[in-house]
Amino acid sequence: MRRVMELYGTQGWLTLGGAALLFMVIIPLLNLALPPEHVFHVPDHIVALMGKIMCYAIVALAMDLIWGYTGILSLGHGLFFALGGYAMGMYLMRAIGREGMYGSDLPDFMVFLDWKELPWYWLGSDHFGFALLLVILAPGLLALVFGYFAFRSRVKGVYFAIITQALTFAFMLLFFRNETGFGGNNGFTDFKRILGFPLANPSTKVALFITTAFTLLAVLLLCRFIVCSKLGRVLTAIRDAESRLMFSGYDPLHYKLFVWTLSAVLCGIAGALYVPQVGIINPSEMSPANSIEIAVWVALGGRGSLAGAILGAGLVNGAKSWLTVAFPDIWLYFLGLLFILTTLFIPKGVIGLIGQLRGRPK
């Protein structure tokens, strides 16, 4: 407990507590309790947007852990995110029951493909607990196996980035096929309820929002705990001087594998929270472009800073949801320039910039 208390200083804990209060109590109250015409009412679409961004923030934390602290750039984190989403989506599809368009026990797309029974890998998807298990196991096991082989043969740097990109590309192609059994290019959508609560209800939405906020807080504390521990020191050492670390008697394989798998699992959890709030999951989430966008959130916010990762996810996605509606032509220019300018001019990200402005070194 003492070690947990030492994660942040007094000021840090106060900020964190304030943010938690804001997102877990005040915003939900302002959304639910106040009438829509009230000045302080938080509209539904803002709540939905913030919920989405908090999911992205979890992904950004996971990315920061593996890239910012360990120095391994993954261009496949969108895959783990989508796998978690698909695992949750399978449960949500089953929870529709007979209310689908064809009124069948099977999900609509299976009826459409003229399938008579569930494929074996859908077994157990009726149970929420099993879905949660799958959310962790699917990305976790894939990351574990892939990471084991990649790190064992010391694939690193750019090569690692490129083969993770190929991996997510391959999975995208796989999930686009109807025969794979995950709804082809339409993916899963038209969800009705989760744990018996209708997804269209405002209270269900707010509950999901609060759950996401709570998860984000927990993930932040977990990541903080890791980077402040001895393990975190080793990770930073892998980033900065891997050969020197090896000569000091450490085997980087296990450390890399641990943080890589953990990072993938966190992404999966974020995906599982994302899908019921957004109401759709399809293979385009696995496109290489999505995964590389995650890297720019972290780069903009500030690599090697957990707060920076969250900030970056918020800034980029906030700008995205505003620009794609207001100036759809500008968005790609904005994103492209963001990639170029952050790498050229602010390698430490916005957090580093704020630090510089305050006159502190680093």
Partner 1 sequence: MTAVKFAKHQRCLASILLVLLTGKAWALDAASLNTLAAGEVNKKIAVVEQLVNAGDAAALPVLEALSTGTLYTTETGAVVIVTPAAALDALTGKPAAVEPLEKISINNRLRQHLNTAIAALRLAAPDRALRLAAAMELQKSAGDALLPLIERRLQQEQDAEIKSLLRNVQANLRLRAPERELRLQAVKDLARNPSNHIKSLLLARIENGADGKPAEPDAEVRQAIHSAVAAIDRELKKVEYLSHLFSGLSLGSILLLAALGLAITFGLMGIINMAHGELLMIGAYATYVVQILFKHYWPGAFDGYLLAAVPVSFITAALVGMALERSVIRHLYGRPLETLLATWGISLLLIQTVRVMFGAQNVAVDNPSWMSGAWTVTPGLVLPYNRIAIIFFALFVVALVWVLLNRTRLGLYLRAVTQNRNMAACMGIPTPKVDLLAFGLGSGIAGLGGCALSQIGNVGPELGQSYIVDSFMVVVLGGVGQLAGTIVAALGLGEINKFLEPYAGAVLGKIIILVMIIIFIQKRPQGLFALKGRSAES
**CB closer to partner 1, 42 vs 299:** 299
Residue 315 interacting with partner 1 (CB under 8 A) = no
**Smallest separation (angstroms) from partner 1 to the CB of 110:** 19
**CB closer to partner 1, 228 vs 335:** 335
Among residues 292, 307, 313, 316, which is the contact residue for partner 1, using CB under 8 A? 292
Residue 11 interacting with partner 1 (CB under 8 A) = no
**CB closer to partner 1, 270 vs 295:** 295
**CB closer to partner 1, 83 vs 220:** 83
Number of shown-chain residues binding partner 1 (CB under 8 A): 42
Distance CA 102, CA 114 (A): 11
**CB closer to partner 1, 35 vs 328:** 328
Ordered DSSP codes for 37-86: TSTTPPPHHHHHHHHHHHHHHHHHHHHIIIIIIT----S-HHHHHHHHHH
Among residues 339, 353, 354, 355, which is the contact residue for partner 1, using CB under 8 A? 339
**3-state DSSP call for residue 256?**
helix
Residue 246 interacting with partner 1 (CB under 8 A) = no
Residue 288 interacting with partner 1 (CB under 8 A) = yes
Residue 296 interacting with partner 1 (CB under 8 A) = yes
Subset of residues 55 to 84 that bind partner 1, contact rule: CB under 8 A: 73
Residue 344 interacting with partner 1 (CB under 8 A) = yes
**CB closer to partner 1, 128 vs 339:** 339
Among residues 17, 99, 336, 356, which is the contact residue for partner 1, using CB under 8 A? 336
Among residues 133, 185, 337, 356, which is the contact residue for partner 1, using CB under 8 A? 337
Site string for partner 1, 145-174 (x = CB under 8 A): -x--xx-xxxx-xxx-xxx-xxx-xx--xx
Residue 233 interacting with partner 1 (CB under 8 A) = no
Residue 225 interacting with partner 1 (CB under 8 A) = no
**3-state DSSP call for residue 189?**
strand
**CB closer to partner 1, 223 vs 295:** 295
**Smallest separation (angstroms) from partner 1 to the CB of 53:** 21
Binding residues for partner 1, rule: CB under 8 A, are 73, 146, 149-150, 152-155, 157-159, 161-163, 165-167, 169-170, 173-174, 176-177, 288-289, 292, 295-296, 299, 329, 332-333, 335-340, 342-344, 347
